[in-house]
């Protein structure tokens, strides 16, 4: 009985709960339905409002059916237009309203050209109750223009037209120059207020990243093989970028932003100068170059800007400044010192950037060489224009400007020398006095003088260019050396530092700070040596000896004397250790020029006898130090062997050969029966058999005893197998045959001297044959004390014909 009651009760409770849940569910459905209906009604209402507003806007703008049709705006009162725009901006959707926004901008531009004041959009700004909201509205419109510029593609024709519309609107509302409303009566009174309004607008745009967007736009249009911007587009961009600067009177903050975002665009100055020269005039007249230098000469400003720039764009900034300075010549002349300081600083930072980016995974850069930062394709396409800007730096006009003080000094000096030659002194006593005074006053330029400072700084600049712009090194050296200006004046500068080209100056500096060549005079010496080496390498005998281009023969003689003493003294006197000298740039440049001069003198002498010998030390004393194992003596003999007489060098060579044979156990005293190599050679095939058996012989065996067994023409072995007589005969025969022109490895000049034949490749394994010839000649020098090589090689033939 109790169980039945409980069951009915449970069923009753379940039914009541189900009814309550159903009522709650129905209530939730009703609430959801109401919310959905409300949302839908709201959506429909909004869509209706949007449709109505868009319809009103379409009625106002009257957008043509075809994009190719010319747009002719039907103007309405400005206040009415202002209210329509306010509604339009409220419902604006970038994707749906892109075309409407473009034609709205066209409409506003058309209204600005209207002669009717009430139709001009600016008329609203004259209404006190509307001015604040109008300012916000125009700011909103202009910022939307800037935002769209970020994503448009200049290479697309339709996008190019949109870009021009937005730029024109930005130009129109950032300055009052085109506002017709201010050209009528009472316009002069309104102009100051309207100018302030434009400044307000520009300040707002700057705070919303105007310059970064302009940088993106310029890079898209200019960083390519062929720029896509026309004159109007590029002029508009440059005008917009300059106006905030002009309004702020070139404040440091805005100028930094301009340098960072505009002057760092690849080759922007080059393209402005070629496409929009009127804008170039604007940049020059506003002294943008001079103002930029004034800012960048502050090292802190340079550091901030460079840290914000990736290395490629820092290089573009440098190139743009070079061309801008070249075009704004007056500013460059007035600020030459600041220009060189800023250039050196930027180059050093580019060099540091490249060094920090070096790794196993590197990319090639057409100017900076190899480093790990990958370069954009657009930058690669723009690099030829960047290089054209950089080349101005080592052009003749720039060289004349940077070395102007030295050029003037040399000019005055030569005029005085010409006058002295024109009116020679007849008095013997006066001649003697003049000669004595000229010797005593050989120091015409002191290291701390203004002429020295003004010469060393451009030297440091060009040296920084050579080291940083690694892929342009040959171009830079060519620009510096292939003219009649730089090398002669630098040579005159070195000569006027004192006797033997100021050798004492360099030695004194190194004695004060051993192993240190950080003084600017060493950079100047480095530059001179590298440029002179580059020039002399390309001069033929006619140009060097007969025409005597750039330098006279006595100059080469004096140059060789100075460099020979410079290398010897700094090493022998312990002013630079061997390890430092090996990696020291001025030392290596000086040695390179010295070797070049010695080589040319060896081909065709221009120096007196024994010119290359060092007289500061006796050969016996030098050899004594060498035998003691002094590293400096070994280093000098390796690098500049000609400082010792040839006979002494031969003696040293023979001593070394004997020592080496003892060490290798190749002498009878070292070993009762030293290991030897036996070869069998047919007299009819002496070269072929010798090559086959000796070409692959290891160096130690080649230096050892080689015994030769000859086979005569009848195929019988000849009597005698020894090291001296038979082997010497084998060397003589082999060398005579390989140098025979009929074998086609070598040819004869008109002077009966040999040089490698250009058709030697016809011989099978001709390169290996040349290597074999070298080994045989080396073996002859190594073993035989007498002369067994009758042929003379022509040293003027550096390459195959």
The DSSP annotation for 117-172 comes to: GGGSGGGGGG-TTTHHHHHHHHHHHHHHHHHHHTT--TTSHHHHHHHHHHHHHHHH
pTM (predicted TM-score): 0.84
b vs e for 504-516, b when ≥16 Cβ sit within 10 Å of the residue's Cβ? ebbbebbeeeeee
The CB-side HSE value for 326 (13 A sphere, CA atoms) comes to 22
Residue 565 near residue 594 (C-beta atoms within 8 A)? no
Tell me which residues of the chain have a pLDDT lower than 70.
Answer: 1-5, 359-361, 422-443, 666-674, 720-725, 784-792, 794-801
CA distance 740 to 352: 55
Quote the crossing angle between the two packed helices 450-468 and 336-356, to the nearest 10°: 30
**pLDDT of amino acid 724:** 58
**pLDDT of amino acid 716:** 81
CA distance 383 to 230: 20
CA distance 161 to 167: 10
CA distance 13 to 704: 118
Residue 683 near residue 732 (C-beta atoms within 8 A)? no
Q: Which residue has the tokens 């070409």?
A: 695
**pLDDT of amino acid 441:** 45
- To the nearest 10°, the Cα dihedral for 506, 512, 518, 519? -50
SS3 label, residue 778 = helix
The CB-side HSE value for 595 (13 A sphere, CA atoms) comes to 13
CA distance 236 to 231: 8
CA distance 200 to 205: 9
Backbone φ and ψ of 359, nearest 5°: -160, -175
| 392: DSSP letter | G
Nearest of 470, 238, 250 to residue 371 by alpha carbon: 470
Query: Pairing relation of β-strands 369-371 and 676-682?
Result: unpaired
Query: Pairing relation of β-strands 746-748 and 754-756?
Result: antiparallel
Helices (H), 442-498: 450-468, 473-481, 486-495
Residue 210 near residue 149 (C-beta atoms within 8 A)? no
**pLDDT of amino acid 752:** 77
Check the CA dihedral 269-270-273-274 and report its sign: negative
DSSP string, 418-431: HHHHHS----HHHH
CA distance 461 to 341: 8
Residue 201 near residue 216 (C-beta atoms within 8 A)? no
């Amino acid at each position: 009985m109790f169980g039945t009651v409980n069951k009915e009760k449970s069923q009753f409770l379940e039914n009541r709960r189900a009814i309550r849940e159903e009522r709650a569910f129905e209530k939730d459905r009703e609430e959801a339905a109401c919310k959905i209906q409300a949302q839908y009604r709201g959506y429909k209402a909004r869509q209706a409002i949007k449709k109505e507003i868009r319809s009103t806007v379409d009625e106002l703008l009257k957008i043509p059916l075809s994009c190719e049709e010319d747009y002719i705006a039907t103007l309405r009162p400005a206040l009415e237009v202002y209210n329509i725009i306010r509604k339009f901006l409220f419902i604006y959707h970038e994707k749906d309203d892109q075309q409407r926004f473009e034609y709205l901008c066209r409409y506003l531009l058309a209204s600005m050209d209207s002669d009717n004041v009430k139709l001009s959009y600016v008329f609203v700004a004259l209404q006190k109750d509307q001015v604040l909201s109008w300012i916000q509205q125009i700011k909103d419109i202009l910022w939307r223009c800037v935002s769209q510029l970020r994503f448009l593609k200049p290479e697309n024709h339709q996008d190019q037209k949109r870009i021009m519309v937005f730029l024109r609107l930005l130009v129109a509302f950032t300055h009052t120059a085109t506002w017709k409303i201010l050209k009528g009566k009472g316009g002069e009174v309104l102009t100051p207020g309207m100018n302030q309004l434009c400044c307000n607008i520009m300040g707002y745009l700057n705070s919303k990243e105007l310059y970064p967007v302009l940088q993106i736009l310029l890079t898209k249009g200019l960083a390519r093989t062929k720029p896509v911007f026309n004159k109007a587009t590029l002029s508009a961009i440059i005008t917009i970028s300059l106006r905030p600067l002009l309004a702020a009177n070139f404040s440091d903050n805005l100028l930094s932003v301009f340098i960072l975002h505009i002057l760092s665009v690849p080759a922007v100055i080059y393209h402005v100068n070629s496409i929009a020269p009127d804008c170039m005039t604007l940049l020059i007249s506003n002294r943008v170059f001079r103002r930029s230098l004034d800012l960048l000469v502050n090292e802190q400003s340079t550091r901030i800007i460079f840290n914000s720039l990736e290395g490629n764009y820092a290089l573009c900034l440098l190139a743009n400044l070079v061309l801008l300075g070249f075009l704004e010549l007056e500013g460059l002349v007035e600020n030459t010192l600041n220009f060189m300081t800023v250039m050196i600083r930027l180059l050093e930072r580019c060099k540091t950037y490249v060094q920090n980016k070096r790794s196993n995974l590197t990319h090639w850069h057409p100017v900076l060489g190899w480093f790990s930062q990958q370069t954009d394709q657009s930058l690669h396409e723009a690099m030829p224009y960047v290089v054209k800007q950089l080349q101005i730096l080592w052009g003749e006009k720039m060289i004349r400007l940077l070395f102007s003080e030295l050029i003037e000094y040399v000019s005055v000096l030569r005029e005085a020398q010409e006058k002295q030659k024109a009116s020679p002194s007849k008095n013997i006593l006066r001649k003697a006095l003049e000669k004595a005074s000229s010797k005593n006053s050989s120091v015409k330029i002191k290291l701390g003088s203004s002429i020295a400072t003004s010469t060393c700084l451009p030297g440091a600049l060009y040296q920084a260019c050579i080291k940083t712009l690694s892929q342009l090194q040959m171009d830079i050296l060519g620009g510096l050396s292939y003219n009649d200006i730089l090398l002669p004046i630098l040579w005159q500068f070195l000569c006027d530092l004192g006797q033997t080209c100021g050798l004492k100056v360099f030695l004194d500096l190194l004695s004060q700070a051993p192993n240190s060549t950080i003084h600017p005079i060493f950079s100047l010496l480095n530059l001179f040596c590298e440029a002179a080496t580059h020039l002399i390498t390309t001069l033929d005998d006619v140009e060097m000896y007969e025409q005597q281009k750039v330098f006279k023969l006595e100059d080469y003689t004096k140059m060789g004397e100075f460099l020979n003493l410079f290398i010897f003294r700094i090493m022998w006197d312990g002013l630079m250790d061997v390890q430092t000298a090996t990696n020291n740039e001025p030392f290596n440049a000086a040695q390179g020029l010295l070797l070049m001069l010695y080589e040319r003198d060896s081909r065709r002498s221009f120096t007196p006898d024994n010119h290359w010998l060092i007289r500061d030390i006796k050969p016996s004393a030098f050899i004594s130090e060498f035998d003691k194992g002094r590293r400096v003596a070994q280093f000098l003999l390796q690098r500049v062997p000609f400082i010792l007489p040839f006979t002494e060098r031969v003696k040293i060579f023979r001593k070394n050969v004997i020592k080496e044979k003892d060490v290798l156990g190749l002498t009878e005293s070292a070993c009762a029966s030293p290991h030897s190599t036996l070869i069998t050679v047919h007299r009819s095939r002496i070269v072929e058999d010798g090559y086959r058996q000796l070409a692959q012989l290891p160096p130690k065996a080649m230096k050892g005893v080689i015994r030769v067994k000859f086979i005569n023409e009848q195929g019988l072995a000849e009597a005698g197998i020894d090291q001296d007589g038979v082997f010497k005969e084998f060397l003589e025969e082999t060398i005579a045959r390989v140098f025979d022109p009929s074998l086609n490895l070598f040819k004869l000049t008109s002077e009966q001297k040999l040089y490698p034949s250009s058709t030697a490749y016809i011989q099978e394994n001709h390169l290996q044959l040349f290597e074999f010839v070298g080994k045989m000649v080396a073996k002859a020098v190594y073993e035989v004390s007498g002369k067994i090589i009758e042929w003379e090689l022509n040293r003027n033939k550096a390459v195959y014909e």
